[in-house]
Structure 1
Amino acid sequence: MHVKKLLLLLSVINMSITYGSELKSDEHVLFIPNIAYQTPDNKLAISIQAWVYEKERRPGMTTLLTKYLGIDKDTLTPEEYELLYQRSQLFRVDSERGKVLSIKLNNTTYTLPKTDKGGVTNQVIYLNTIPSQQNNHSISYSISDLNLPESTNTGLSFFSPDIGLSVISDIDDTIKDSKVLDQKQLLINTFIKPFKAINSMRDWYQQMAKKGISFHYLSSSPIQLYPALKDFMDKAQFPTGSVHLREATTWHSIIPTGDDSRNHKLSTLEKLLNAYPKRQFILIGDSGEADPEIYAQMMKKYPTQVKCIAIRNVTNEDEQSPRYKQLFAGVDSYKWQIFTDPTTIINTCAPRE
């Protein structure tokens, strides 16, 4: 009898692993804004990324997290502690593996692949209807189970026509003052200080958006920080666009290794350039980490698509530094620029009025 019960239990577990399970009422879904594009056979491809998690009570988790980050929580002001608590909330959850999401898109229900061990599911849905040829045209979809929390029900993908100009922008130290070169200060600015926009970059991006340029934001920050980053970009009035964050859904992977960051950015850049093979791209980043090296690699691989590289100088290295002479050897000087003030490169990296 016990053997039969054991076999039945194992069968149920195996079916759950193989086919996945539906969402429970206490599980949440976080959609990350993605892209939509026209395929060579004139279909509409809509990329969807979602993370499924369950909130957990974890006494002492904030103390453990601050120790890992090297932050003394006893020295924090009440305002700093509140920010720490808010921004670390999604590092205190359980990622839900094997969950199957059903979404509604254009009055049709689609089932996404079951979530992986990190609680993430990715899918491209193909439709026969192409939307208006407007840059950053948003396509919305929602979880079909209305019993889930309303705040997590809706996702967006941004459509850009197959021909045009797009910006792929880093976030930290490119549009947000983060101090990436100082890891302790970076963590302080990420978790306990209000995010600070680089206003000159915001002004430049707004000018480009008015010219019909599409935007994609690429960062090695983990997806747990997406709500805080979205709030920051909305309040600072950066143009809307797709957001591509690192799929790291455990608290001890907050700080990426060099390889993690590089691989994430390279794979995302490949995805974006391959999705829009006829579009041109401006790649914008900073000199603090490997943006120049990654972007130079992509320019050499996709010379007709990468129109320009713009690197915000945070390391006091000008165009004559050995780093850039080696990276951009043989590349026309007008196709890359190191800058402090973005107004100096507007006519280089964006179309004239």
Structure 2
Amino acid sequence: MDLPKRKFTDPPAIKRLVKIARSSGVRRLVTSYLWRNPSIQAVDSHQHTVWLFDNTAYQSTMPKTIGKGHAWHVEVIACVFQKDSRKDISKLVATIADIIGLDGEVGTQREIRHCIAERLRPFLYHTAEAHMMMLEIPLPNHTTQIHQIGPTDHNGVSVQTVTTGSRGVKDGDRIRSKLRNWNSTATMDTTFAGPEGWLVISDIDDTIKYTKTSESTGILRTTFVDEPKPIAGTPQLYYQIEKQLQPAWFYVSAAPFNLYPFLRHFIHSHFAPGTLMLRGSSWLDVSELVRSFTVNTKAYKMKWIEKIHRWFPHRRVLCIGDSTQEDPETYAEIYENHPTWVRAIWIRKVTDVPHLEEQNSPERFEAAFKNVPNHIWRVFEEPEEVRDLIARL
């Protein structure tokens, strides 16, 4: 069966947010970049904020090169912003507070407004195009490699693969790299994962984090106001997976890149650290936030997961997702593409969010997994239901 097109439960709220975002000059005209070729500059700690995303290093999977002594590769994602840009965001803060029902006495509380402002700010930063930086990678053999990163594209993002040496580096090692001549905030953690073993691909929203992705106002509230809350029982489940399988962890979410610090802190507080693969949504248009959670999620996740397969084609994979979006259909197609790679698919049936009757119907799951053996996939409501399955893996 085909899933119905998702409809937001509060479309006027999103239209209002779009209007205020555009009227505030939040949407940047990308076409302006077509008419100029900016000169390349170095990042400056006094002028820029830099994010480095945690990642997972892999080895070549060519048969003749697998093994001890082979170099490691790692995809480095860096984002550069202008410091202190978009200072006046009071109108957007007030609008979001009003949309999600915090107007009046509650909405004027200083701590709530401050929370909204802090989480909203990364959506409003001015990005820094055509900037480069120097990355220091300290290896376990007490040597440090220097890699040039950049230049950033028109979204202020640089994505490139760097190669490190293999001497003294082993499967499971974790190192922290940093920008040269920078403060301690611009760092990234790299986990080295060999060609074999287990690997977990996990969704975030409504799989391990309560987000309410089926409701537009729910997304705004859980993103900008509420303290992020793990789904009950999932930290214990993931701890057991980590203990028994010792996998490499990949958290693949349709959430936009702008939420990286927010989501990274959440995962590090409750779950095993890993690589966050987020969506390259519009940096400067907060109105795109809800759409990023709900539109074309399957195509986006398929792209990321196929990349993980290229890095780790010989690992055994456990996929974990939920019923709110297209996780069942996505993981089923990945299984069909790579049936010896995916060993298990677990889908959380979300029952604590309204209006999901069709998404949770047995017919939906049967149709999604019609080409997947029954012993591969499992739908559960409580994490406790699948804990015993870990040992079978």
TM-score, scaled to structure 1: 0.87
Q: Is the 8 A contact 1:318 1:338 kept in 2?
A: no
Once the two structures are overlaid, the 10-residue window that deviates more, 245-254 or 53-62, is: 53-62
Aligned residue for 1:328?
369
Give the distance between the partners of 1:239 and 1:226, measured in 2 at CA.
16
Task: Tell me the secondary structure at the aligned position of residue 64 of structure 1.
Answer: helix
Residue 251 (structure 1) shift: 2.9
Change (3 A) 1:243 1:184: same
Q: Is the 8 A contact 1:319 1:325 kept in 2?
A: no
Q: Is the 8 A contact 2:174 2:191 kept in 1?
A: yes
Q: Does residue 1:170 correspond to 2:203, yes or no?
A: yes
Q: Is the 8 A contact 1:319 1:337 kept in 2?
A: no
Aligned residue for 2:381?
340
Residue 190 (structure 1) shift: 0.9
Give the distance between the partners of 1:193 and 1:131, measured in 2 at CA.
44
Aligned residue for 1:84?
116
Task: Tell me the secondary structure at the aligned position of residue 121 of structure 1.
Answer: strand
Aligned residue for 2:180?
144
Matched residue type, 2:384 = T
Matching of residues 78-117 of structure 1 within 5 Å: 78-106=110-138, 107-117=144-154
Give the distance between the partners of 1:208 and 1:303, measured in 2 at CA.
21
Once the two structures are overlaid, the 10-residue window that deviates more, 62-71 or 82-91, is: 62-71
Q: Does residue 1:36 correspond to 2:57, yes or no?
A: yes
Aligned residue for 1:203?
236
TM-score, scaled to structure 2: 0.78
Give the distance between the partners of 1:71 and 1:90, measured in 2 at CA.
20
Q: Is the 8 A contact 1:66 1:72 kept in 2?
A: no
Give the distance between the partners of 1:190 and 1:92, measured in 2 at CA.
15
Matching of residues 164-313 of structure 1 within 5 Å: 164-211=197-244, 212-236=246-270, 238-248=271-281, 249-252=283-286, 253-257=288-292, 258-313=294-349
Q: CA RMSD in A?
A: 2.4
Task: Tell me the secondary structure at the aligned position of residue 100 of structure 1.
Answer: strand
Give the distance between the partners of 1:56 and 1:340, measured in 2 at CA.
44
Residue 175 (structure 1) shift: 0.6
Give the distance between the partners of 1:164 and 1:66, measured in 2 at CA.
49
Aligned residue for 2:17?
none
Residue 56 (structure 1) shift: 3.3
Give the distance between the partners of 2:124 and 2:36, measured in 1 at CA.
28
Residue 63 (structure 1) shift: 1.7
Q: Is the 8 A contact 1:38 1:130 kept in 2?
A: no
Change (3 A) 1:262 1:131: farther
Identity of aligned residues (%): 26
Residue 194 (structure 1) shift: 0.9
Give the distance between the partners of 1:52 and 1:202, measured in 2 at CA.
32
CA displacement, residues 213-258 of structure 1 (integer Å, 9 cap, x when unaligned): 221111111122121222222333x111111111222233322354
Give the distance between the partners of 1:130 and 1:189, measured in 2 at CA.
45
Give the distance between the partners of 2:318 and 2:152, measured in 1 at CA.
33
Give the distance between the partners of 2:212 and 2:36, measured in 1 at CA.
47
In the alignment of these two chains, the number of paired residues is 333
CA displacement, residues 268-316 of structure 1 (integer Å, 9 cap, x when unaligned): 1111111001001111111001111111111110111111111100145
Give the distance between the partners of 2:56 and 2:167, measured in 1 at CA.
14
Matched residue type, 2:53 = I
Question: 5+ unaligned residues in a row in structure 2: which ranges?
Answer: 1-34, 139-143, 351-355
Give the distance between the partners of 1:329 and 1:210, measured in 2 at CA.
32
Matching of residues 15-54 of structure 1 within 5 Å: 16-17=38-39, 20-24=40-44, 25-40=46-61, 41=65, 42-54=70-82
Residue 54 (structure 1) shift: 1.2
Q: Is the 8 A contact 2:175 2:191 kept in 1?
A: yes
Q: Is the 8 A contact 2:86 2:126 kept in 1?
A: no
Q: Is the 8 A contact 2:128 2:152 kept in 1?
A: yes
Once the two structures are overlaid, the 10-residue window that deviates more, 189-198 or 126-135, is: 126-135
Give the distance between the partners of 1:82 and 1:14, measured in 2 at CA.
38
Task: Tell me the secondary structure at the aligned position of residue 388 of structure 2.
Answer: helix
